[in-house]
Chain A
Amino acid sequence: MTNRALSPRSEPLPFERVVELYGPALLRFCATQAGSDRAEDVFQETMLSALRAYDGVREPASVRAWLYSIAARKAIDAHRDRARAPQPIADPEPAAVAADVGFFDAGIWAHVRDLPDKQRQAVTLRFLADLSHGEIAEVMQTSEAAARRNVFEGLNRLRAHVEP
């Protein structure tokens, strides 16, 4: 409602613009949540189901959080698949994405991936997608206080890995 008040004539963004505006960051998000080898699959599934549901009454300002909430759901499924089958069958196509975002498999992001689901999502949405705590709450369907707590607790766990 506040968004409507801010832009009384808000018109639906063409989906093309949605992909251009939010796609690159969303692809990185998928890599951190699902692993670089599954990033593109999760990304494509997210975009296709977003397009399927894109009805035009959606407020342009809330589209980003909505996309992340779809991606977060799809990534959790992929994350669980991954835990069950740590060596996915190699697909030659997504290899380029894997190479581009492969650094997510090492360093701090490898530790992020090992966080519990809620903390992993919250930390990534905060630092990689640059979402506000309010937007994180919207994506994760929690209160804003819970979103803050998830970020805080995730950072606490990660801190152990950057101690000198």
Chain B
Amino acid sequence: MTNRDHHENATALEKSLAGVPTATPATWERVRRSLNDRAEAEGLVDVAFERHDSPLGTILLAATPEGLVRVGLPVEEEDGVLQELASRVSPRVLHAPRDALTATRLQLDEYFNHRRRSFDVPLDWRLAHGFRRDVLRATARIPYGETASYRDVATRAGSPAAVRAAGSALATNPLPILVPCHRVVRTGGALGVYRGGVHAKIQLLELEGAIG
């Protein structure tokens, strides 16, 4: 065999080894679902998540075995939320079914259809610590359709002067909607900021009839 023949054969060989097709999307989807189900059944998933379509847009819901741990609002990048969970909870994050997720999705649908005023799912508070968690627990007690000021929740969390700290606790609420930080507004009626964007805050307060 001459060098030239050898070279042409090498090229033909490498060509026939390259550019192989992959599984079709439908097959890949089925393989993925089977992997997710098996991983969950074998107890290998520390953080299971699902996506849920709502009037605000697609919401990401994540749960540990203890309960719902994170609600990602539509304005948040999914990659960022999943990375936060991998870094702060566990890297064993997988799109998988879980009872707490199913229950939350059902209750969110009821909430957005005016058929539910409070949520009843187990919450995992591990992404909020100390005073921040106290602020969020105080926020969780603000009734549907009502609002409170940042000073109110700071006071209820035990530190009336810590208004700014209360604000940052609410701005980093890992469980928006279920822990209704949208019900906390500025003294004097201005809405204040919202992790999900001010538009979402208005939408939620209008839904609840808290603003006109």
A interface vs B, CB < 8 Å? 11-17, 19, 23-25, 27-28, 40, 43-44, 47-48, 51-52, 54-56, 93, 96-97, 100-101, 103-104, 107-109, 112, 123, 127-128, 155, 158-159, 162-163
Contacts and interface: CB of A to CB of B under 8 A. Distances in A.
A120 B12 CA distance: 18
Given A14-B83, A19-B94, A27-B22, A159 B35 contact: no
Given A12-B87, A15-B91, A159-B10, A123 B27 contact: no
A120 to B, nearest CB: 12
Contacts of B10: 155, 159
26 contacts: A11-B83, A11-B86, A11-B87, A13-B86, A15-B86, A16-B93, A19-B35, A23-B32, A28-B22, A28-B23, A44-B38, A48-B38, A48-B39, A51-B92, A54-B91, A54-B92, A96-B26, A97-B23, A100-B22, A101-B23, A112-B17, A127-B17, A127-B18, A158-B13, A158-B17, A162-B9
Nearest to B49: A16
Contact of A48 (B18, B32, B35): B35
A15 B91 CA distance: 6
B95 A128 contact: no
Contacts of B86: 11-15, 56
A28 B92 CA distance: 24
Contacts of A47: 35, 39
Contacts of B23: 24, 27-28, 97, 100-101
Interface in B17-51: 17-18, 20-24, 26-28, 30-32, 34-35, 38-39, 42, 44-45, 47, 49
B22 A16 contact: no
Interface of B: 9-10, 12-14, 16-18, 20-24, 26-28, 30-32, 34-35, 38-39, 42, 44-45, 47, 49, 79, 82-83, 85-87, 90-95
A40 B92 CA distance: 21
Nearest to A45: B38
Contact of A12 (B14, B35, B39, B91): B91
A14 B34 CA distance: 18
Nearest to B12: A162
Nearest to A128: B20
A83 B38 CA distance: 28
B31 A43 contact: yes
B28 A56 contact: no
Contacts of A13: 83, 86, 91
Given A27-B28, A47-B35, 19 more contacts: A13-B83, A14-B93, A15-B92, A16-B95, A44-B38, A51-B44, A51-B94, A54-B91, A54-B92, A96-B26, A100-B22, A103-B20, A104-B20, A108-B16, A123-B17, A127-B17, A155-B10, A158-B13, A159-B9
Contact of B44 (A48, A109, A163): A48
B2 to A, nearest CB: 13
